[in-house]
Structure 1
Amino acid sequence: MKNSREKILNAAVAVFSRRGFHQAQVEEIAKKAGVGKGTIYLHFPNKAMLFSAAVSEGLEEIMAALQSELESEVPFTEHFRILIRTSVTLYLKHGDLSKILINELTSGIGPAAMKEIEAVRELFIVFIAGVLEQGSRDGYIKPMDFRLAAAGIVGLMDSLCRFHFQSRGAVDSAQIAETMHAILSNGLLAK
C-alpha cells in the first residue's frame, strides 16, 4: 500500500502543479499514478486532503534533506551559506512542489487541509529561525525577531524561485543562492 501512496502523492504534485488545485481532477491523478480512483480514496478522504498530504510530505522531505546538509560542524557564516544554497537547490529540484507553494496556497483548498500545510510550513520557518538564533548566540547575527526574519527568508526564496520559473530558468540555483546570500548577509550579519 505504501508504494501506491507514494505514486499517488508524486502524481498529485505533478497534476496540482500543472493544473492548480481547482482544475486538477482526481481521475487524472489516478491515471498518472497508475491506480484506480478508489485507491486514492483509500488513502485520502478528499481532494483537499490529498493536496495537503502532497504539499506537507514534500515539505517534510525538503526539511529532512536540509537538516542532514546542516549537520556539519562549520563556522556559522558557512552554515548560513549552506542553508541558503541547499534550500534554493531543494526548492528548485522539487519544482512542481515549489510551484504549488508559490501559486496554490491561497486558492481556497479548505480549512483542514490549509491548517495542515501551514503547520508544516511553520516548522520550516521555525527551523530557519533556530539557525538564525544560534547565529545570534554565536555573535554573527544581530538580535531581532528571528521568526519574522525566517518568514522573510522564505518569502525572498519564494520570490526568487518564482522569478526562476517565470524566466524559464534564465537564472540558476547558484545565482539565486548567491543573490540571497548577498542580500541577507549584508542585512543580517553583524561582522
Structure 2
Amino acid sequence: MSKQFGEIVAYWQTEERDILQLIGKGVVDIMLIKENFIQAFGTDTTYSYDMVASYADYDAYLMSVREKPLLNKEYMLGKRIGLIDYPTSRSGYIAPMRLLKDLDLSPQQVEIVYAKSHQELRNLLVSGKVDLISTFWQEEDDLDFSRNYTTSLKEKISGSKWYLKMLEKNTDLRCEVQAVLAELAEKTEHPRYYHNITIVNPCQEMSQ
C-alpha cells in the first residue's frame, strides 16, 4: 500500500450530508459504509467501488429498562421512543419508523426523542428520559441492561462494508487491503462484532 499512497488522509464523518458528498463525488479510495449509501448513488458503477470485506448482518431491537417491549399499537401509543437523528440509520431510524407505519401509528401518536449516537440513546434510556430506544445489542449492554427487556424488530440490518475504488484493475492493492483488514480484525480492541469480518472474493494467496 505504501508504494501507491504517499500519505493517508482519514475522514471521520457523522453528518449525513458530509458522507453523501464524499460518496457522491468519489473522494475517497477506501471506505467503510452501509451498502444502501452505495446503492443510492450508484457509485459502485460510477467510480468502480468494489466491496472487499463486510461485517455480519445484525438485529435491531426495541430496548427498555423495566419491561419487555410489545410490538402492538396499544403498547406503543404515547410511548417516548429514542431514535437516531439520521434517516439512513437502519437500526436507529428506518426499522422503528417502519414498525410505527406497520402499526398504523403516526409520529404524533408517540413522542420521538432524537439522539446523535447509539450511546446517547442508551444514556437517554438509563436517565429515564425515554421509555424505549431502537438500537442493536452490544456486549457492553450486559452490564447495564437485560436481554429479557429487548424485543427484536424482526428485521436483519445489513452490516457495514469496506469498499475500494477500483477505477483501474489494481489487483495488488486490492489483495493488500484485504490482508490488512483481516489482520486488523484479529487485533482490534473494539467489540467482538468487528472481529468477524468476511473477506469478499479473497485473493488466491489469502484463501490458501
Same structural fold, with TM-score higher than 0.5 when normalized by the shorter chain: no
Max Rg structure: 2
Going by fraction, where is helix more abundant, 1 or 2? Answer: 1
Output the TM-score relative to the length of structure 2: 0.27
